[in-house]
A and B are shown apart, each in its own frame.
Chain A
């Protein structure tokens, strides 16, 4: 059973526009959420995270929003750049456990 879901397998946006990547989760015990970016032949690179006590966290061009009642989070990238083209994974962690539970990833393509 997939506890972290990224329902859209891909997204294509124009350079300079906003990219919005969505993620849903089913386990209400998750209390920490992370986004990773992955290029081919490389390991996932940590991007940004958010604790369940917050509803927004911002770091430069990246902002993560958390809606606990809807069990939904999203990553906003603005402005999008061609170098942002990669596979993005949403991940979640539950207090007391160190394991990250990943979604299946979503491929973002930013066109020049």
Chain B
């Protein structure tokens, strides 16, 4: 079965540079989520989109922005990178309209490992 695709898998940037992470959800999934996992930490929710509209927002820095496109893929744009942004960034997708009315069962991609030097 098709899974969530993330690219690139690894990215090395220098401080103050910008980075763009891409996510392609499971076909027919309409909701995309972004999570950040620091070393030895649990994944932290950043932001989510449903039908190209932002649907929920977590602890996403103002330096980060994201959007979902008409083909449902999503991009996370990160500017003025800091050393502390080094982390594993996961994208997940789901098909809304499951339970009440949200589908909590999110399916994760393999992640993009961002290293800021």
A34-B104, A97-B56 known; A102 vs B111 contact (CB < 8 Å)? no
Q: Residue of B at shortest CB range from A36?
A: B108
Does A109 sit within 8 A of B, measured CB to CB? no
Interface string of A26-50 (1 = CB under 8 A from B): 0000001010100001111110010
Contact check, A95 vs B109: say whether CB atoms are below 8 A apart: no
Q: In the complex, A45 Cα to B109 Cα: how many Å?
A: 9
Interface string of B79-117 (1 = CB under 8 A from A): 000000000001010100001101011111111000000
A43-B90, A49-B104 known; A32 vs B45 contact (CB < 8 Å)? no
A98-B33, A98-B48, A105-B42 known; A46 vs B100 contact (CB < 8 Å)? no
Contact check, B4 vs A49: say whether CB atoms are below 8 A apart: no
Does A25 sit within 8 A of B, measured CB to CB? no
Contact check, A46 vs B107: say whether CB atoms are below 8 A apart: yes
Return chain A residues, CB-CB under 8 Å to B40. 104
Q: Residue of A at shortest CB range from B100?
A: A95
Q: In the complex, A59 Cα to B52 Cα: how many Å?
A: 34
What is the interface of chain B, defined by CB distance below 8 A to chain A? 4, 31, 33, 35, 40-45, 48, 50, 55-56, 58, 90, 92, 94, 99-100, 102, 104-111
What is the interface of chain A, defined by CB distance below 8 A to chain B? 4, 32, 34, 36, 41-46, 49, 51, 89, 93, 95-105
